[in-house]
Amino acid sequence: MLLIGAAQPCNVYWQVASSATIGVRTAFVGNILALQSIQLQTGATLEEGRWP
């Protein structure tokens, strides 16, 4: 995803129907809304966002 103009990563929301897994060495940007669980694998980072 390419953020353009005044778009900020903290305003991007990713809605997941069940569980979210962020892969090895992935730099994730945004907010995760998952019904069941959120997992970050080895070396994965969450940048400019949050999870509940």
Q: How confident is the model at residue 5 (pLDDT cuts 50, 70, 90)?
A: very high
Q: How confident is the model at residue 50 (pLDDT cuts 50, 70, 90)?
A: low
Is a pLDDT exceeding 70 seen at residue 48?
no
Return the pLDDT at 19: 96
Give 6-45 pLDDT, tens digit per residue: 988 888 899 999 999 999 999 998 889 999 999 999 999 9
Please report the DSSP string for 2-45 in residue order.
Answer: ---TT--GGG-EEEESSEEEEPTT-EEESEEEESSEEEE-TT-E
Return the pLDDT at 7: 87
